[in-house]
């Protein structure tokens, strides 16, 4: 927001995170929102949520170097937050070719370089773990054992560690929040350069995870029988393939490998075992 005085009174100009003014449709919605009369409790909740959001963006902006390389974002959760925070931090460079392109998904942030090299969220996590020193980093399960074997500081958050450890300490937000992960990549690119950052990511051995959701037909007894059958094959808590009940008549498959084709094949086999 930008306020200014004039002979006819006060004016408020509203800008988008990229610095451009809002369009006519957004202006109409904004005016309608101001003219509406929500309940007092609703106003309180809105104000509290707005305050929390602003504090979040201020914290995120403090993690983005003002001299970072030019970047852009694909759509997804975290993209608008990163762009807004970068605008606050005066780190957006308009008209410059992007040296980094961030993609945001439910598994975290991916990054793409101008030469076409792309690294998925697990590669990004592996890079952060390689630089985490001796401090333990706790993750919500499932966490690929291929990752934990390479980086002993990574651990699954169980009941014991949940009582004794904080999985989201302030200085480790980039492990759990895609926007903060992108900010950390921007910091590394600023310190080492984008070419060096790409090399650092390419040195992390890849881990590929394939996920499936499979529905089966039959009674509750047949579903229980299928669970027992899978357990006898060691697949309910396997090393490279894990199958867990996903609700009535449903299973979730989780397979890992160093090759994406192999992870897909493991998922195919597990799906065949469930359906046959």
Q: For the chain, what is the HEC assignment?
A: CEEEEECCEEEEECECCCCCECCHHHHHHHHHHHHCCCCHHHHHHHHHHHHHHHHHHHHHHCCCCCCCCCEEECCCCCHHHHHHHHHHCCCCCCCCCCCEEEEEECCEEEEECCCCCEECHHHHHHHHHHCCCCCCEEECCCCCHHHHHHCCCEEECCHHHHHHCCCCCHHHHHHCCHHHHHHHHHHHHHHHCHHHHHHHHHCCCCCEEEEEEEECCCCHHHHHHHHHHHHHCCCCCCCCEEEEECCCCEEEEEEEECCHHHHHHHHHHHHHHHHC
176 burial (CB, 10 Å; 0-12 / 13-18 / 19+) is middle
Q: What is the CA 52 to chain-centroid distance, rounded? A: 19
CA 239-129-190 angle, 5° bins: 145
- Contact residues for 138 (Cβ-Cβ < 8 A; gap 6+): 155, 156, 157, 161, 165, 167
Give pLDDT, residue 268.
87
Place of tokens 């697990």: 122
Task: Output the six-digit token pair for 219.
Answer: 């009674």
Q: What is the pLDDT of residue 66?
A: 85
Alpha-carbon distance of 106 to 177, in angstroms, equals 10
**Cα 134 from chain centre:** 24
CB count in 10 Å sphere of residue 269:
14
Closest by CA to 195, choosing from 114, 127, 273, 139, is 114
**Bridge-partner residues for 155, per DSSP?**
138
Q: What is the pLDDT of residue 135?
A: 79
* pTM of this structure: 0.70
Would you give per-residue pLDDT tens digits along the chain (276 residues)? Answer: 444 444 445 556 666 555 556 666 666 666 666 555 555 555 556 656 677 788 888 889 999 998 899 999 987 778 999 998 998 888 888 778 899 999 998 888 999 999 999 999 989 999 999 988 777 888 877 778 888 888 888 887 777 776 776 655 555 778 888 999 999 999 999 999 999 999 999 999 888 888 888 887 766 667 777 777 766 666 555 668 777 777 777 888 888 888 888 888 888 888 887 777
Place of tokens 């090759």: 259
pLDDT of residue 6: 45
Q: What confidence score (pLDDT) does residue 3 get?
A: 40
């Amino acid at each position: 927001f930008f306020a200014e005085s004039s002979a006819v009174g006060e004016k408020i100009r509203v800008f988008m995170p990229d610095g451009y003014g809002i369009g006519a449709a957004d202006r109409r919605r904004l005016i309608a929102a101001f003219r509406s009369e929500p309940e007092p409790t609703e106003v309180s909740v809105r104000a509290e949520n707005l305050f929390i959001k602003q504090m979040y963006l201020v914290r995120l902006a403090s993690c983005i170097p003002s001299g970072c390389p030019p970047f852009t974002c694909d759509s997804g959760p975290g993209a608008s937050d990163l762009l807004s925070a970068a605008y606050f931090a005066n780190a957006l460079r308009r008209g410059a070719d992007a040296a980094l392109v961030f993609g945001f998904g439910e598994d975290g942030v991916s990054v793409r370089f101008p030469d076409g090299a792309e690294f998925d969220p697990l590669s990004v996590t592996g890079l952060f773990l390689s630089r985490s020193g001796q401090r333990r980093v706790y993750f919500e399960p499932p966490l690929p054992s291929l990752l934990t074997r390479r980086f002993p500081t990574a651990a699954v958050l169980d009941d014991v560690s949940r009582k004794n450890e904080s999985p989201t300490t302030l200085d480790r937000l980039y492990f759990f929040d895609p926007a903060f992960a992108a900010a950390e990549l921007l910091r590394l690119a600023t310190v080492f350069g984008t070419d060096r950052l790409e090399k650092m990511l390419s040195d992390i051995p890849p881990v590929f995870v394939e996920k499936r959701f499979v529905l089966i037909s039959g009674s509750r007894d047949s579903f229980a029988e299928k669970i027992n059958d899978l357990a006898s094959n060691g697949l309910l808590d396997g090393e490279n393939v894990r199958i867990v009940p996903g609700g009535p008549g449903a299973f979730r498959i989780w397979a890992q490998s160093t090759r994406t084709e192999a992870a897909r094949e493991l998922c195919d086999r597990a799906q065949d075992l469930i359906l046959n």
